[in-house]
Chain A
Amino acid sequence: MADLTSNFLGITSPNPFWLASAPPTDKEYNVRRAFEAGWGGVVWKTLGEDGPPVVNVNGPRYGVVHGADRRVLGLNNIELITDRDLHQNLEEIKRVKADYPDRAIIVSLMVPCEEGAWKAILPLVEDTGADGIELNFGCPHGMAERGMGSAVGQVPEYIEMVTRWCKENYSKPVIVKLTPNITDIRKPAAAAMRGGADAVSLINTINSIVSVDLDIMAPEPTIDGKGTHGGYCGPAVKPIAMSMVSEIARDPETAGLPISGIGGITTWRDAAEYMALGCGNVQVCTAAMTYGFKIVQEMISGLSQWMDEKGHTAVSDFVGMAVPNVTDWQYLNLNYVTKAMISQDDCISCGRCFAACEDTSHQAVLMSEDRVFTVNDAECVACNLCVEVCPVENCITMVEQAPGTVDERTNKVVENEHGDWTTHPNNPGAVAAE
């Protein structure tokens, strides 16, 4: 079985699976349960400045987008940072870290954007023996109205400034957690880097309204007839998060900056995908909130099995392996021609490929009187829609057309050489091929 030991910023943990700063890591009891279940580390739920704790709503905090059989596809929350006393949290962190020296404990922080506030809390955190801090510049609800959370994360200059304060006043790694509620994720990442951040973690939650109660005409979760936007997470946000991760991983300015991946990670495969896109480790929340802490067992066994199958002996082996293959559209090979092919042995004749192609695409799927479905290569643009709507996996596949053969749609010979938009004759800005 592959060794899953993770070393992220010099912080070791038995596996790369951390629990993200969120309700599951709000107190000692939960964190101990998480460690007993096998989690490699936790990011303790965000602490605020000393004084009267924040208050939460006393109505519902969560809303969900359900899939079939009430599968949780997306979760949104309006819970604020910890509403427990700062010192109680600090004592608990210290106790748990002492009892679990092999696990990573990172403390998430969110205090006002003033140097004094950070200078006050950082020594207290340092004293707990925790392995590092994560700056919560991400939460889009509640605290942002008070100039914290995503209100900071949306201003790169603030990120840089606060990160610098933390690096100056704290000895261990500083991770900056980024909000996705921004146009270009590379800007806050670069700002964190300039401020001296050891890593970024992303994504925090996305501004969202998950549903509207059509009887009372109010967004859900509804608090006494009103609702507010919350932070969206869970499997639904994974594609958005992975794109943002890849942008930071491949941008020359931020390339090499360690990343902790967050967003809808539910299985070992999700984790492996994030890591392939450049994440040194991953953080999980919604999956644990849906199924409990035990899911980490599947993540551990699944990642181990896959690493063994691929011959990876350390998790660092495959971190970032997919990054070189993330490119811009303009560099995609336009001479790569594929056609959909329907396996008649696997086809169950549901006709979804036909409906999709005939109604919404290129009329390239043919349907016979006796419900035999075939592809007309002369119309097929290889869009892949039929593949994706077919309920039978691998029934429809995209088959590459061999160079030298004629593409029936364009009546052109398929070329062997790479040819992309940068050299395409239709591109007014094309550069001459060398």
Chain B
Amino acid sequence: MANATSTSGIISGRLDRKVLSDNFDDLHAPLGEHEALVAADRCYFCHDAPCMTACPTEIDIPLFVRQISTGTPEASAKTIFSQNILGGMCARVCPTETLCEQACVREIAEGKPVEIGRLQRFATDKLMAQSHQPFERAKPTGKSVAVVGAGPAGLACAHRLATFGHDVTVYEARQKGGGLNEFGIAAYKSVDGFAQRELDWLLSIGGITMAYGEALGDGLLLDSLKAEHDAVFLGMGLSGVNALRCEGEDLDNVVDAVSFIADLRQAEDLSRVEVGRNVVVIGGGMTAVDAAVQSKLLGAQDVALVYRRGKENMGASVYEQELATSKGVRIIYNAQPMKVARNGKALSVEFAYTKTKKGKLSRTGESFSLPADQVFKAIGQALLGAPEELAIDGGKITVDEHGRTSDALVWAGGDCASGGDDLTVTAVAEGRDAATSIHATL
């Protein structure tokens, strides 16, 4: 093998194909039949179960787990999909450790929750393998709705609208649907092209037309959507990336973590994806962890994840942080970038140590430098291309609890809308609920 983890520069093929393939295999192996029965049996079938309340889509978890334990995973999957049509992806990417599994009474009792995420995957995989979906379109209503963005929010909205019998056109800026499921999220959480399979399966309900290469503001105007359709749902996510606002940010190889992840997700051959020997990731959320871990799995020798506040403030869960460290990522807390400088062929990032007093961040006066071939920025994304006529709140489109914007014909949900966590499952819930709200007005 020509290249190794220690080879300098930004190169591909640091690890051989076998190792790469193992590294990017399923993070959590699917449960086997018997494993699923044993795991399902651990559920206490709680009254008014806390796990259900903790799920943004309010899946009836005790019921679906019980349906697995009685040998009817298909019925179980229907319980899941009726609340969350992207239940397959959510089973893979949900931070269950901070949602349903954190609320599980067995987590409280013994620190070992029912494996809700893996059980959900077991059931949804079963039903999806049978190719048909358990929902049918209602009689066509003749009404038409525009959905902007084919990510989790848009797809959940489109599917629910289709079940009501409305015609839906989904406008997607990219040439492929799925949104962050397809372009974001670490590869080992969604292996074997699952995002596209799920999209095809979802669309098989019928009544949904996909229009790719159509971005809002870029030829596609809200006014014309309103004129052509009876209602509009905006779920285009956050396409902008926040700036570091430090010197040297514009140097080569200082890039957005989301672009690195998207390229990696779209790569046909991981052994041709380039990564630096030394990688510095700046940020504290899931994107930062996904970029750092995948850099390490591609064969980077030293990956530092630098976050400006403490461990407890980090957006990525403790589980995600531990995943990162277990893969060899070094997490440095309480440090803020001051300057990126060229250092021969590579870069050097200078950080200031920080402290937080009464929630206010300040520098301690001490600093350190890290060598970097690549610097990935993962300090949050920003809304781009929002129609000017809509009210904006904290950089996101203002919505009420039904997803209604300041325009009576326009709804919004997912990352581009105000309120809610930036999770796939939250986006699904918002898209779904907006569809119900839209339906009520049509």
Asked if B108 CB lies within 8 Å of chain A CBs, one says yes
B48 touches which one: A351, A391, A392 (CB < 8 A)? A351
Instruction: Name A66's closest neighbour in chain B (CB-CB).
Output: B37
Instruction: Let me know if B41 and A68 touch, CB within 8 A.
Output: yes
A392 to B37, CA, bound (A): 21
- Interfacial chain B residues near A371, Cβ < 8 Å: 48, 50
For residue A352, which residues in chain B have a CB less than 8 angstroms away from its CB? 44-47
Shortest CB distance B290–A (Å)? 33
- Report how far A348 CA is from B50 CA in the complex, Å: 11
Assuming the A-B contacts A371-B50, A392-B109, are A350 and B38 also in contact, with contact meaning beta carbons closer than 8 angstroms in the complex? no
Residues from 44 to 79 in B contacting A, C-beta threshold 8 Å? 44-50
Q: Give residues of chain A (324-377) contacting chain B, Cβ–Cβ below 8 Å.
A: 348-352, 354-355, 367, 371
Q: Map CB proximity to A onto B19-40 as digits: 1 under 8 Å, 0 otherwise.
A: 0000000000000001001100
Q: Are B41 and A69 in contact (CB under 8 A)?
A: yes
8 A Cβ contacts from B168-209 to A = none
Cβ of B105 under 8 Å from chain A: yes
A69 in contact with B46 (CB, 8 Å): no
Q: Which residues of A contact B38 (CB under 8 A)?
A: 68-69
Give the A-B pair count, Cβ closer than 8 A: 36
Residues of B within 8 A of A310 (CB): none
Q: Are A70 and B34 in contact (CB under 8 A)?
A: yes
Please report the C-alpha to C-alpha distance between residue A367 and residue B48 in the assembled complex, in whole angstroms. Answer: 11
A261 CA to B49 CA in the complex, in Å?
A: 43
B41→A350 contact, CB < 8 A: no
User: Chain A residues near B106 (CB, 8 Å)?
Assistant: 348
Interface of B, secondary structure class, is helix
**Provided the pairs A68-B41, A392-B109 are in contact, do residues A351 and B34 lie with their beta carbons within 8 angstroms?**
no
CA A219 to CA B105, docked complex, whole Å: 39
- Is the pair A351, B46 in contact by a Cβ cutoff of 8 Å? yes
Which A residues are CB-close (under 8 A) to B108? 348-349
With CB as the reference atom, state the residue of chain A lying closest to B106.
Answer: A348
A351 near B41: Cβ-Cβ < 8 Å: no
Which one of A68, A70, A351 lies within 8 Å of B47 (CB-CB)?
A351
Given A68-B38, A68-B41, A69-B41, A348:B47 Cβ within 8 A: no
| Complex Cα–Cα for A352 and B49 (A) | 10
Q: What's the nearest-Cβ distance from chain B to residue A246, in Å?
A: 32
B37: A residues at CB distance < 8 A = 68-69
Across the interface, A354 reaches (CB within 8 A) one of B41, B45, B47, B105, namely B47
Interface hub of A70, A349, A392 (most chain B Cβ within 10 A) = A349
Which B-chain residue is minimally distant from A70 (CB atoms)? B34
Contacts A69-B41, A371-B50, A391-B44; A350 near B105 (Cβ below 8 A):
yes
A350 touches B34 (CB 8 A): no
Shortest distance in angstroms between B38's beta carbon and chain A's nearest beta carbon? 5
**In whole angstroms, how far apart are the Cα atoms of A355 and B45 in the complex?**
10
User: Shortest beta-carbon distance, B50 to chain A, in Å?
Assistant: 7
Tell me which residues across on chain A come within 8 A of B50, comparing CB atoms.
349, 371
Most chain-A Cβ atoms within 10 A of its Cβ — which of B38, B44, B45, B108?
A: B44
Q: How far is the CB of B103 from chain A (nearest CB, A)?
A: 10
**Chain B's nearest CB lies how many Å from the CB of A310?**
31
Residues of B with C-beta under 8 A to A349? 46, 50, 105, 108
Bound-state CA distance A351–B46 (Å) is 6
Residues from chain A with Cβ under 8 Å of B47 in the complex: 350-352, 354-355, 367
CB distance from B165 to the nearest CB of A (A): 36
The residue in A68, A350, A371, A392 that gathers the most chain B C-beta atoms within 10 A of its C-beta is A350
Question: What 9 pairs across the A-B complex have the smallest Cβ distances?
Answer: A351-B47, A355-B47, A68-B41, A348-B109, A348-B105, A350-B46, A350-B105, A350-B44, A69-B38
Taking Cβ atoms with an 8 Å cutoff, the residues of A that contact B are 68-70, 348-352, 354-355, 367, 371, 391-392
Other A-B pairs beyond A68-B37, A69-B37, 4, CB < 8 Å:
A348-B108, A349-B46, A350-B105, A367-B47
Q: List 30 A-B contacts (CB under 8 A).
A: A68-B37, A68-B38, A68-B41, A69-B37, A69-B38, A69-B41, A70-B34, A348-B105, A348-B106, A348-B108, A348-B109, A349-B46, A349-B50, A349-B105, A349-B108, A350-B44, A350-B46, A350-B47, A351-B46, A351-B47, A351-B48, A351-B49, A352-B44, A352-B45, A352-B47, A367-B47, A367-B48, A371-B50, A391-B44, A391-B109
